[in-house]
Amino acid sequence: MEIENYIQKVTLNAREASLNLAVVNSELKNSILNTMADRILSGSVHLKKANSEDLEAGRKAGLSSAMLDRLELTDDRIKEMAESVHDIANLKDPVGSVIDGWTLTNGLRLKRVRVPLGVVCIIYESRPNVTADAAALCIKSGNAVILRGGKEAFNSNMAIYQRLQAAFKNTELSPHCLQLIETTDRSAVPPLLTADDCVDVIIPRGGKSLIRHVVETATIPVIKHYDGICHTFVDQECEMNMALEICENAKCQRPGTCNAMETLLVHEKVANDFLPRIQKKLQARGVELRGCTKTRAILSDIKEAEEEDWKTEYLDMILSIRIVKGINEAIDHINTYGSGHSDAIVTDELASAERFQNAVDSATVYVNASTRFTDGGQFGLGAEIGISTNKLHARGPMALEELTTYKWLINGEGQTRQ
Amino acid sequence: MEIENYIQKVTLNAREASLNLAVVNSELKNSILNTMADRILSGSVHLKKANSEDLEAGRKAGLSSAMLDRLELTDDRIKEMAESVHDIANLKDPVGSVIDGWTLTNGLRLKRVRVPLGVVCIIYESRPNVTADAAALCIKSGNAVILRGGKEAFNSNMAIYQRLQAAFKNTELSPHCLQLIETTDRSAVPPLLTADDCVDVIIPRGGKSLIRHVVETATIPVIKHYDGICHTFVDQECEMNMALEICENAKCQRPGTCNAMETLLVHEKVANDFLPRIQKKLQARGVELRGCTKTRAILSDIKEAEEEDWKTEYLDMILSIRIVKGINEAIDHINTYGSGHSDAIVTDELASAERFQNAVDSATVYVNASTRFTDGGQFGLGAEIGISTNKLHARGPMALEELTTYKWLINGEGQTRQ
C-alpha cells in the first residue's frame, strides 16, 4: 500500500509538471539539457563511485562478464553520455510544428499542431546511460518522464538521476519533470502500468519477458520492440558481389543487434552459385550456418535448420538459410516467420524490387542495402528512444517526433452547428 | 476451447487475407464497396426481417424505447446505410501516399509510405449500421476487419454482414477480409483481445464498461474513446451575444453527443451580466443548471454543483456552471476535470485565445466556436470510425488516414554499414 501511494504521488506529480513543461520554449529546455550534460561530466567521480557499488554487487551475484561490461561506467562512457545529451539539445524541437491545416466552408480555420505526449514512462534493463538518454529525449520533446531502471544498475541510475535532477533548480520548471522510481521493489511496477489518468505511454526497453509483462499488465498504451528477425532475399537476377557484401555486413557487422540478418533466403536459380561463396565468406568470419534440405544438398557440411530456427532471433553468429522457388515464396516466408522489423532484397529487377517493398509487411524494407541501417541516427533522425515493432503511432526508429502527438486548434467568429 | 479455436481461425484468416488486401488498388476496393452498398439496398426485405427478430427479442427483454429505436432498421435507415458506404467508396484512398522522404549522405533514398494497419478488430454495442460503416472504412483503407457486435443486434448484424460478404465473390480478394464473430458467446472476446500475432488494433465503440473491459484485457493496442466532458469558458472581454449563442448550441443542439458542453466556466468579471442571460436562454430550452457557490449567489434558484458534477458527462439537458477568477483557473479546471476531448474559449483578446489553445490539454481546442463541431465529417475528413481520446496514433476524429500506418522504403546500390 505504501508503494502504491508512492507511485500515485510520482505519477500525479509528473502529470502536473507535464502541463508546464508542454508550453515552455525550446530555449529553456535546451539550457536545462546543456546543464544536465555539464553536470554528468562534472560528477564523474561521484558516478564512478556509485557504479562501483553496482559492479561489486553484480560480481557477488554472479553476473556474466558481458553484463558487468554493459553495467560499467568508465570516464569515456561518462563523456559519451554527456555528449549525447548535448547532441539532443542541438536537435530541432518537434513541438509547435504545424502538421496541416485548412479552412472549412463555414469559415472555421483548423490546424493540427504537434504537442508533447504528456507523461512518458520508460522501464528499462539496459545500460545506465539510458537514464540520461531517455531523460534528455523526453524533456527535449516537452514530456515529463518517469524512469524505472533495472535492479543491477540501481546505484548508478540514482547517481545519474541526481546529477540530472539538479538542472531544474532555479528554473520555472518543476523537478517532477524528471523522476526516477527510487526503489528496486518489483511491486512498484504494476501501479505504474495502470496509472491511466496520469501516464500517457509506457516504453519498455529490455528483454522479451520484460516486454511481455508490460504488455500484459499495462492499461496504458505501450510502444514496444519485440524481436528483430531480419531477412535478406538474394533474387535470381542480382549482382553476386553486392549480394555477398550485403549479406556479410547484415550478419557480421554487429550480430547482437536487432537489425542484424537472422535468415538468408536464396532464389533456387542462383543457389548453386551463391551458396558456396557466401559459406566461404561467412565461415571465415566464424558464422555457424543452418540450412533447409535443399540448402544442405549444396552445402552438405552444415547443420539442418529446424522449424524453430525460422522463428529465432539468434543475436549471435548463427544464420539460417532457405532456398525459395522465387520472390513469392520469399515474401511468404518473411510475412510468416519475420518480426516485421527490417528485411532486404538484393535484385537487379525493378519489378522484383517493387513487389518486395510492396508486399513485405515490415517496418523497414530495403532494396540493395544492408538491414543494419535501421537506426534513428543512421536515418538522420537524431538520437532514438527505440525501434518500434508496433504499427500504431510509431513504426521503426522512434525519435523526437514520435514522442509527440498533436492537437486540433480551431478558430472561428461565433460559428455554431446547425 | 471450441470458441478459442474458432477465434484463432478467424484471426489467422484475417491476417492472411490482410496481406493481399493491403496491396490491391483503390479501384478494386471501391468496386467492392459499391457492390456492398447495392446489396444493402437490394436486401432491404431480408434485413428488416432479421431486424424484426431482434426487436421482438428486445421488447421481451425489456429494452427501453430509446434502445429499441436505436436498434430499428427502417427503409430510410437502410437507404442511409447504403449511401454511407457509397460515400466511403468515393473518399480518397490514403494507402500509398508518401509522407516524407530524403536522401542520406551515403546515397540511400528513404521514404515513408502509408500502408494499411493490417487487421482491425471493432467491438461495438451501437446501432446495426456500424456493421456496414466500420466494414466499409476498414476495407477502403486496406484493412481486414473483424467485427464483434452487440447481442441485441445479432440477427440484424448477421444479415447485414451476409449482404456485405457476398461482395467479395468473384474477386481476387478473400472473403476473410471481412468477418463477423458468429456467436453472442461472451467467451469469444478475451481470445480476440489477446490475438497479438494476427490483430493490429482493437477499436471498442460503446459504453464505458465495455471500453474499460477491453483496455484491461487486451494485449493488442487499443484506440479508445472515453468521456466527452467538454467545457466552454466565457472570458472577461468577449461578445456577449456570441457567447450566448455558442453556449446554447454547445449544450442544446444535440445534448446526447460526446462533444456537447457539460460545464460552463465564466470569468468573474462578466458573471453578473452573463449568467442571468444564459440562464434565461437555457431554461427556456429545458436545461437544468447546477452552479458553484459563487454562481448560486447570482442565480439563487439553481441547484448546487457537487464535486462529482465537474467529473460527469451528463449526455443530457444538464449543465454545471462555475465562476473562475480568470483564464488560469479556467485552464486548471479543464485540465483537472476535463476528458481531453473538446473545449472552447469565447474571447476578444488575442493573448487569452492563444494562452487557452496552448495550455488546454485536449484533442480539440476552439476559439469562438461551438464544441459541437468535433466530428470527422464536420472537419472535412469524410466518415469517421470514431473520436479518439488517446494521445497515441490518433487524437480527436479518426478517419481513413488514422486506419493506416507507414513503412520505411529504402533503396540503395549495395550500401553496407561501417
With cut-offs at 50, 70 and 90, classify the pLDDT of residue A369: very high
At B33-83, the pLDDT tens digits run 999 999 999 999 999 999 999 999 999 999 998 889 989 999 999 999 999
Residue A1 has pLDDT above 80, yes or no: no
Which residues in chain B are closer than 8 Å to A395, comparing Cβ atoms? 405-408
The superfamily in CATH containing domain B230-373 is: Aldehyde Dehydrogenase; Chain A, domain 2 (3.40.309.10)
The C-alpha angle A231, A234, A235, rounded to 5 degrees, equals: 130
One-letter identity of residue A158: M
State the helix-helix crossing angle for A26-42 and A129-140, rounded to 10 degrees.
170
CATH 3.40.309.10 domain residues, chain B:
230-373
Residue B25 has pLDDT above 90, yes or no: yes
At A67-87, the pLDDT tens digits run 899 899 999 999 999 999 999
Residue A226 contacts residue A208 (beta carbons within 8 Å): yes
pLDDT at position B165: 95
Residue A225 has pLDDT above 90, yes or no: no
pLDDT at position B225: 84
Element (DSSP H or E) covering residue A264: strand A261-267
pLDDT at position B219: 93
Residue A37 has pLDDT above 90, yes or no: yes
Rounded CA gap, A170 and A200, in Å?
27
Element (DSSP H or E) covering residue A101: strand A98-103
- Assign 3-class secondary structure to B120-189: EEEEECCCCHHHHHHHHHHHHCCCEEEEECCHHHHHHHHHHHHHHHHHHCCCCCCHHHEEECCCCCHHHH
At B230-267, the pLDDT tens digits run 999 999 999 999 999 999 999 999 999 899 999 999 99
Which is it for the CA torsion A346, A347, A350, A352, positive or negative? negative
B109 min Cα distance to partner chain A (Å) = 10
Site of grid cell 476524429: B397
Tell me the C-alpha to C-alpha distance, in Å, between residue A125 and each of A70, A183, A205, A381, B92: 11, 14, 7, 24, 44
With cut-offs at 50, 70 and 90, classify the pLDDT of residue A340: very high
Q: Could you report the predicted ipTM of this complex, rounded to two decimals?
A: 0.94
Helix, coil or strand: residue A325? coil
Site of grid cell 555477398: A244
With cut-offs at 50, 70 and 90, classify the pLDDT of residue A230: very high
* DSSP code per residue over A355-396: HHHHH--SSEEEEEE-GGG-STTTTTS-S-SEEE--SSS--E
pLDDT at position B276: 98
pLDDT at position B415: 98
A249 min Cα distance to partner chain B (Å) = 6
Residue B383 has pLDDT above 90, yes or no: no
At A319-339, the pLDDT tens digits run 999 999 999 999 999 999 999
Smallest Cβ–Cβ distance between A372 and the set B215, B380, B417 belongs to B417
pLDDT at position B207: 85
pLDDT at position A208: 86
Task: Note the pTM of the prediction, 2 decimals.
Answer: 0.93
At B86-141, the pLDDT tens digits run 999 999 999 999 999 999 999 999 999 999 999 999 999 868 999 999 999 999 99
Return the residue of B nearest to A378 by Cα: B104
Return the residue of B nearest to A338 by Cα: B197
Which residues in chain A are closer than 8 Å to B378, comparing Cβ atoms? 104, 417
With cut-offs at 50, 70 and 90, classify the pLDDT of residue A306: very high
> What percent of chain B shows pLDDT beyond 70?
100
For residue B257, what is its C-alpha cell? 453527443
B200 min Cα distance to partner chain A (Å) = 7
CB atoms within 10 A of CB B210: 17
At A96-139, the pLDDT tens digits run 999 999 999 999 999 999 999 999 999 998 689 999 999 999 99
CB environment B259-271: b (16+ within 10 A), e (fewer): bbbbbbbbbeebb
Which residues in chain A are closer than 8 Å to B367, comparing Cβ atoms? 409-412
With cut-offs at 50, 70 and 90, classify the pLDDT of residue B374: very high
Rounded CA gap, B140 and B21, in Å?
10
At A140-170, the pLDDT tens digits run 999 999 999 999 999 999 999 999 999 999 9
Nearby residues of B147 by Cβ (< 8 Å), 6 or more positions away: B121, B122, B124, B131, B134, B135, B157, B161, B178, B179, B180, B181
Rounded CA gap, A139 and A329, in Å?
46
Backbone dihedral angles phi then psi of residue A315, each to the nearest 5 degrees: 50, 35
At the top level of CATH, the class of A2-224+396-411 is alpha beta
Average pLDDT of the residues of chain A? 96
pLDDT at position A206: 86
Residue B172 contacts residue B196 (beta carbons within 8 Å): no
CB contact under 8 A, A392 and B223: yes
CATH 3.40.605.10 domain residues, chain A:
2-224+396-411
Rounded CA gap, A259 and A374, in Å?
6
Residue A317 has pLDDT above 80, yes or no: yes
